[in-house]
Structure 1
């Protein structure tokens, strides 16, 4: 990864160079069974095709006035909109059916009665009719909004909000319009120590809680999140800048599923017993580590917190969590929904900047493990801090993922080709702020021209706009610093001789979006030796080149410092298998991309990290094994 450091536009401090512990993005999202509610079923984080032109979202409404009450997401076929009232007066629920959030008249769609996402007057993102007219959903803290932020957030320590020890706060702007919308406590080492005190007080009792009880609490957390899905989605969009259609369809549903997955994985976990002989037995027990530190990135704030929290809490640990200073607010909206479910001190949140709060947390001898997602250079610092105290780490770091398209992809003009073109365009998902962003597209020469032309057309069809509009496919970059970094790489690429095929400019929205951090999806054409091919840009930028044959594809794919993710697209099973095994990456998507199911291990090779996220093996990452070696024989060994 190139640079995803502390981005100080939110406060007047410039962290010391080389000494920061900034939190960066982490990759990815988890979908139930590897799927996300979307336009139609697909094993992808977003569905295989964008929804058919949904109407612009309207102001959120209240629960149903229909004869049968419903929870968020109810409707004729499980959509947000009303099933029976053209004006949407039935609100969220209708008397005709119930269902889960995010579905509609077609399987897995937001929409409601008219087969258009979010139709219906006061029911959130819908409009007053199926005609498709309306405005973006109401922003937080305005009339009709589904979520309101507090004017100030302190640290969450020991089950209550605690002011910062030094009384300092920093402003938190929304990437949507660049304007501050809340203040966040600016934590220091003193605040970290308070949080560790609370965590250590709570850890023994929480670790002795039965697995059934802990699993039950995780399930309740998931239920609360599902009931507040729309609230969390809007909060995440406003804090991070990503389109609400992604937070509704991916980020929050995947976080919900992650808690449910680890509730089940914990109940299914068993210890071990080995009978060494008739009189000697080895017992193996899983025990929690105790108090663990978690440093969360800014690209998926709630989801990445969930990736770490769910297994840590399931395993019986107490947690001190530090959100990214770029996106510190949405986790507090999440806390407002679920915090009462956990005993005081089991989860503690200390806000602040890397050098001031992250470093004291990562270097503390009072933590039993450090989990970090961010850039590779900061990961090295985390390892250094942990090594001073002989503490284990999990590091999910940078990537420069190759996305390989073999000639046979274009053998027919069919659904598979359409799916592959969407796979090409996945570099723009989440504004490219994904550690596994498919930022290097390798296209075999036999179909290079026609496939690239179609890929450019698909890229140019991406809709930029208001992040709270469900039509919008690409929103704002997470911070002004990140925007400036992306713009600098657009210049670097051209100076190196790379050719911009589409995009390449900042988007200057007016009106409510003036001052926001927007950039066009950009396709470069060049050579794998260029910096835009080798360095992580962390924006909606893909660098394209060609390859001649299988060996050339693998050589180019592996010519990188990183090894987090990769994509392989081919109709030939033998090619798919051999390429997947030959690529040096921890996750190789085959004929798909950006799917993050909870039960598939995720992590990197080379300089992309240590350890894994997701999958039941994460329980092992947050536990230690106790062996009782027991002799039942009354006889001595006979040595003395």
Structure 2
């Protein structure tokens, strides 16, 4: 969807070459057209039986599953992430989300309560109507599925704006399922945030607003929703601490192997994950031995063509993100951080020689540095040490972010203490 004559050419993240692919550059007029279509479908879709809505989501899941390889390649081409990840994680999870919410809606129930002999209070779920959704670029299809599947399951119609950096792959998906969808229930509007996104966020014709992305934009989204007196759901940035206690090194076993793997998950999706272990805290008594193993493993990570199924780290999503990450590497060095691994552009050969590739990087420093306190959103781990449990907790909580956290210990008592109540985070992984 896009206004006549308003198009933009997209670059390819893998090679940084302009491919002549056109994407719509929509604005408020297109948002209004999408809202018109959604409102026209609102009543009929909201009255569609739960059984039929559930069955539609199951059909969508089946269609996506039948085309996983096609969709995985489309997302890799657009985003720069490895096809090994889109094949093994992104697209299977998209399928699972549609099936999950197809089941949830069948199991949803209302409730009733006696107030007195003559009064009964009851409630039953009803669709909100038309909802607005703004999707990030790090998981273009999966984040869309997170929002679209429950909204459609609940009987809502959707107007969705993908990130301007990744506008195409969601259109490829919707083209595959278009024949399954009643007209108007799912509307995709591409464009820049200041044009299409702002128009959607401030519209008085939506009943709820959902957003995943940066903290600054999320704050603006919340204000827009408050101005319209509508509910909103936001998932914002993170600088997730992962704490590794000394006992992870007690034995050379599968647990230690998993702990090393867990730390290096910071490089999953090129570090473009809000809950990845971007801030790592290691007990000072095991720091040198543990980090030696981590670096040894990290050096085996294969970086290269994202369309090669053996590649583990691909390209960053855009020139802007590429430049941002490089600027933080420079900031880290200026702040006095010790470079343990990477720290530079990954210069590939052939078609990928000009792509947005950055070497997986590990920097050692202190928690007051900007590389610890600010979200880099790239393949960069900031590492520091702690003396005891209390200091680990203090360092972990010394951040503006509170999205996720992780703790690694063989001691179940310590895991229980660290995993419950003490963290200032929305979710904590205990391993």
Could you tell me the TM-score, scaled by structure 1's length?
A: 0.66
Pairing 1:13-52 to 2, within 5 Å after superposition: none
Pairing 1:422-461 to 2, within 5 Å after superposition: 422-461=261-300
Tell me how far apart the structure 1 counterparts of residues 125 and 384 of structure 2 sit (CA, whole Å). Answer: 49
Q: Select which of 174, 182, 191 maps to 1:335.
A: 174
Whether the 8 Å CA contact 2:3–2:24 is kept in 1: the answer is no
The answer to whether 1:172 aligns with 2:15 is: no
Q: Select which of 95, 103, 115 maps to 1:264.
A: 103
Tell me how far apart the structure 2 counterparts of residues 187 and 201 of structure 1 sit (CA, whole Å). Answer: 21
Tell me how far apart the structure 2 counterparts of residues 308 and 409 of structure 1 sit (CA, whole Å). Answer: 37
Tell me how far apart the structure 2 counterparts of residues 165 and 467 of structure 1 sit (CA, whole Å). Answer: 33
- Give CA-to-partner distance per residue, 1:418-460, whole Å, 9 cap, x none: 0000001011000000011211110011211100111111211
Tell me how far apart the structure 2 counterparts of residues 194 and 271 of structure 1 sit (CA, whole Å). Answer: 34
- Give CA-to-partner distance per residue, 1:363-406, whole Å, 9 cap, x none: 00001111001111111111121222111111100000001100
Q: Structure 1 residue 325: deviation in Å?
A: 0.8
- 3-state SS of the aligned residue for 2:126? strand
Identify the residue that residue 286 of structure 1 maps to in structure 2: 125
Q: Structure 1 residue 583: deviation in Å?
A: 1.1
Tell me how far apart the structure 2 counterparts of residues 289 and 458 of structure 1 sit (CA, whole Å). Answer: 49
Tell me how far apart the structure 2 counterparts of residues 492 and 459 of structure 1 sit (CA, whole Å). Answer: 22
- 3-state SS of the aligned residue for 2:113? strand
The answer to whether 1:589 aligns with 2:426 is: no
Whether the 8 Å CA contact 1:251–1:303 is kept in 2: the answer is yes
Pairing 1:457-472 to 2, within 5 Å after superposition: 457-472=296-311
Identify the residue that residue 514 of structure 1 maps to in structure 2: 353
Whether the 8 Å CA contact 2:249–2:286 is kept in 1: the answer is yes
The answer to whether 1:315 aligns with 2:154 is: yes
- Give CA-to-partner distance per residue, 1:88-119, whole Å, 9 cap, x none: xxxxxxxxxxxxxxxxxxxxxxxxxxxxxxxx
Tell me how far apart the structure 2 counterparts of residues 270 and 368 of structure 1 sit (CA, whole Å). Answer: 22
Q: Structure 1 residue 166: deviation in Å?
A: 4.4
Q: Select which of 28, 32, 53 maps to 1:193.
A: 32
Pairing 1:36-185 to 2, within 5 Å after superposition: 155=1, 164-181=2-19, 182-185=21-24
Whether the 8 Å CA contact 1:437–1:538 is kept in 2: the answer is no
Tell me how far apart the structure 2 counterparts of residues 234 and 247 of structure 1 sit (CA, whole Å). Answer: 8
Whether the 8 Å CA contact 1:242–1:467 is kept in 2: the answer is yes
Identify the residue that residue 67 of structure 2 maps to in structure 1: 228
Q: Structure 1 residue 488: deviation in Å?
A: 0.4
- 3-state SS of the aligned residue for 1:505? coil
Q: Which runs of 5+ in 1 are unaligned?
A: 1-154, 156-163, 592-640
- 3-state SS of the aligned residue for 1:384? helix
Tell me how far apart the structure 1 counterparts of residues 370 and 104 of structure 2 sit (CA, whole Å). Answer: 42
Q: Structure 1 runs of 4+ off > 4 angstroms?
A: none
Tell me how far apart the structure 2 counterparts of residues 565 and 461 of structure 1 sit (CA, whole Å). Answer: 27
Pairing 1:468-547 to 2, within 5 Å after superposition: 468-547=307-386
Identify the residue that residue 251 of structure 1 maps to in structure 2: 90
Whether the 8 Å CA contact 1:370–1:392 is kept in 2: the answer is yes
Q: Structure 1 residue 275: deviation in Å?
A: 2.1
The answer to whether 1:345 aligns with 2:162 is: no
Q: Select which of 231, 234, 250 maps to 1:411.
A: 250
Tell me how far apart the structure 1 counterparts of residues 264 and 3 of structure 2 sit (CA, whole Å). Answer: 46
Q: Structure 1 residue 278: deviation in Å?
A: 3.2
Tell me how far apart the structure 2 counterparts of residues 367 and 260 of structure 1 sit (CA, whole Å). Answer: 26
Q: Which runs of 5+ in 2 are unaligned?
A: none
The answer to whether 1:214 aligns with 2:60 is: no
Q: Which moved more, 1:455-464 or 1:490-499?
A: 455-464
Number of aligned residues = 429
Q: Structure 1 residue 584: deviation in Å?
A: 1.0
Tell me how far apart the structure 2 counterparts of residues 336 and 180 of structure 1 sit (CA, whole Å). Answer: 23
Whether the 8 Å CA contact 2:82–2:307 is kept in 1: the answer is yes
The answer to whether 1:274 aligns with 2:113 is: yes
Tell me how far apart the structure 2 counterparts of residues 417 and 475 of structure 1 sit (CA, whole Å). Answer: 26
Tell me how far apart the structure 1 counterparts of residues 3 and 90 of structure 2 sit (CA, whole Å). Answer: 33
Tell me how far apart the structure 2 counterparts of residues 394 and 179 of structure 1 sit (CA, whole Å). Answer: 36
Whether the 8 Å CA contact 1:199–1:347 is kept in 2: the answer is yes
Identify the residue that residue 238 of structure 1 maps to in structure 2: 77
- 3-state SS of the aligned residue for 1:172? strand
Tell me how far apart the structure 2 counterparts of residues 412 and 254 of structure 1 sit (CA, whole Å). Answer: 34
RMSD: 0.8
Identify the residue that residue 14 of structure 1 maps to in structure 2: none
Tell me how far apart the structure 1 counterparts of residues 341 and 3 of structure 2 sit (CA, whole Å). Answer: 50
Tell me how far apart the structure 2 counterparts of residues 215 and 510 of structure 1 sit (CA, whole Å). Answer: 48
Tell me how far apart the structure 2 counterparts of residues 165 and 458 of structure 1 sit (CA, whole Å). Answer: 50
Could you tell me the TM-score, scaled by structure 2's length?
A: 0.98
- 3-state SS of the aligned residue for 1:274? strand
- 3-state SS of the aligned residue for 1:478? coil
